[in-house]
Each structure stands twice: as structure tokens, then as C-alpha cells.
Amino acid sequence: MIVIVFKYLTPKGFRGITIFPFIFFADKDDKVDATILNHEKIHLRQQLELLIFPFFIWYGFEYFIRLFQYRDRRKAYYNISFEREAYKNENDLNYLKKRSFWNFVKYY
């Protein structure tokens, strides 16, 4: 995991983005924020489980399904299974230690 602060790689309106093995943050304070860091670490694990490239295909495909379903970009984003798992468990700093393999499927 390599954490980089570079606001131009982070989509507008978001605090961070993870592209294995990098976590990009828009603000240097997020680098030490345990909650957002844990959220992005969950995405790192998801990416590894899907062998990285297929993660992005699945993520994009699911985003478009949710966009069609909700007709709202924000709502579509928050309902992607990967995001639902990460947001639900971002405050549990021990989550990754007990998380089962492909656990994001439960949020689909």
C-alpha cells in the first residue's frame, strides 16, 4: 500500500481513490484519518481478491446497472456492492482481520 496525496487524481466530490497498490487522497489530513484509510484498505483487499483488473470491470458494470436502476449518479455510486461493504465497515478497524474472502458479494 502506497499512500499519495494528489488532489488531481481524486474525482471531484470524493476524498480518495484506490488503484492497487496506490491510495490517492485529495487532502493530506486524510492520510492519517483511520476511518477513510480503512475504507480504502477494504478496496485494496477487494481488488486483490478479484486480481485487480476484473475488479474495475465489475465496478464499472455494476455502477452502470445501479445508474440505470436509480437514475442518480450519487445513489448509484453508494449502492455498488464494493462501496456498500467499505462504507458499512470503515469504522471497524479490525474488519479486515476477520473479513471473509469475497465478502462484498453479500452486499450485491
What is the pLDDT averaged over residues 83-105? 97
Helix extents (H) in the chain: 34-49, 53-70, 73-78, 81-89, 95-98
Map out the domains of the chain as residue ranges: 2-94
What is the per-residue pLDDT across 21-46, written as a single tens digit (0 to 9) for each? 999 999 999 999 999 999 999 999 99
Report the range of poorest mean pLDDT among 1-5, 6-10, 25-29, 48-52. Answer: 6-10
> What is the model's pTM?
0.95
Q: What is the mean pLDDT of the chain?
A: 96
